[in-house]
Amino acid sequence: MFMTGQPRAAKKLWNSNFVIYLLGSTQSSLGSIISGIALSFVTLEITQSAGATGLTLALSMVPNLLGPFAGTLVDRISLRIPLIVGDLLRFMLMMVVWYLATHGDVQVGLIYAVSFLNGLISIFYTPATEALLPSLVPEEDLARANGILGATSQVVGIGGYAVAGVLVSQLGAGPSLLIDAISFLVMGLMYMLVEIPQPRKDVQQNTFLADFKEGWRTLSTHPLMKHMPLLGFVTMAAMAPLNMMLPKIFQGTGTGAAGFGVFMTVMSVGMLLGSLSITALGNRFKAVPAVGAGLVIYGLCYAALSFSPALWMMWGVAFLFGAGMSFTSSGMVYLLQVETPREQLGRVFGMVFSVQMSGMPLTLLLISGFADRLQLTVIFLSCSAVLLLLAVFWMWVSRRSKAPLAAIAD
């Protein structure tokens, strides 16, 4: 049955609402990994073109440009709508692709359309999930809850790609897409069991434009959050050279795709342990220092890569990369959650994430034309310098802040 009305204040971390949310998001994440690989192979089978696969990814990112407006709308309606309806819509989309794929009638235009529509659903769905979590757990357990979700996500990521590869290779893309479709249906049904808060009446009485301006004002006038779009953009942009150059590095070592796969797996392990350390800290977790520490680790790892380290050192760099990314991303999310008024979470997350998610594709477009003409040392040292300067800037503005920030209060 549907859970309606305002949720009761959570008194403990492991309450029924949080457990349902955790289990549902875990199985849905696994389904998304499976469908990602399946769709890539379906697209490749139809077009025999790697460029078509890249276009599919790009089309899924285009809707991020509308993220701030989508987030504002999320704050004006019940979170039940983007969460439950979003999952059910994705269930229907994947069922259509599954049916056509199993009957050999799928066209590449349909894959492009589904990728775009999935991206469009995500710009409503993602802010809604971030806005929901603070209402499911006690405030003092919010950092621990974020750590648990991050650790679970990394476990799914580590094992999910192996499982997905076996499923797609053994069962084919069609059955794998069906599994993904079912995971969305299950997630939507599970959300019906979660007590989801309703928007405040005074928020609904404002105009859309007034709500948008209010969210922008909250973000742009906060002493630290106003820097979050820049921070998110640069951290995602810094991933672009890594993704672009690592295959070339491992080709040079003679390990090729296998070495690249090990690097990404070890990085995921680093992210997992970083999330587990945040979980262990609980309410002792301090978001602002964590963001700065993550950026420093991130920058030093790029510096290490620039000196062509031995293969065994590459695994250490991969582990530290993952840990640094975990500290930075978890710190940013936690800071936004505790410093943003509850009724504005959707629009503020939408504004930050829309800028953040544009970092990688824009950087790839910028450097792809001349990356082969530059030495790896130059590229990686440049990334290192940018990230370390960003870490210094972040710690400087945090020290200058005079606001009583919950995320750094003793």
Residues 6+ apart with CB under 8 A from 191: 20, 21, 24, 80, 83, 84, 87
Q: Taking 90 as the threshold, does the pLDDT of residue 393 lie above it?
A: yes
Q: Taking 80 as the threshold, does the pLDDT of residue 366 lie above it?
A: no
Number of structural domains (the chain) is 2
Do 252 and 366 have their domain in common? Answer: yes
Closest CA to 34 of 184, 244, 140, 212: 184
CB atoms within 10 A of CB 2: 11
pLDDT at 408: 47
Q: What is the CATH number for 394?
A: 1.20.1250.20
Q: How far is CA 83 from CA 68, 124, 132, 187, in A?
A: 17, 8, 10, 9
Do 227 and 103 have their domain in common? Answer: no
Q: What is the mean pLDDT of residues 144-169?
A: 76
Do 54 and 169 have their domain in common? Answer: yes
At residue 372 the predicted structure's pLDDT band, cuts being 50, 70 and 90, is low
Residues 6+ apart with CB under 8 A from 259: 250, 253, 311, 314
Closest CA to 313 of 272, 263, 356: 263
Determine the angle formed by the axes of helices 311-339 and 345-357, rounding to 10 degrees.
Answer: 150
Instruction: Summarize pLDDT for 286-337 with one digit per residue, the tens.
Output: 889 999 999 999 899 999 888 866 777 888 888 999 899 889 988 998 888 8
Do 165 and 288 have their domain in common? Answer: no
Contact 74, 350 (CB under 8 A): yes
Do 192 and 217 have their domain in common? Answer: no
Measured between alpha carbons, how far is 89 from 240 in angstroms, rounded to an integer?
31
323 falls within a domain: yes
Q: Tell me the residue range of the domain where 62 lies.
A: 16-199
Predicted structure pTM score: 0.75
pLDDT at 122: 85
Q: Taking 80 as the threshold, does the pLDDT of residue 278 lie above it?
A: yes
Do 105 and 42 have their domain in common? Answer: yes
27 falls within a domain: yes
8 falls within a domain: no
At residue 387 the predicted structure's pLDDT band, cuts being 50, 70 and 90, is very high
pLDDT at 391: 94
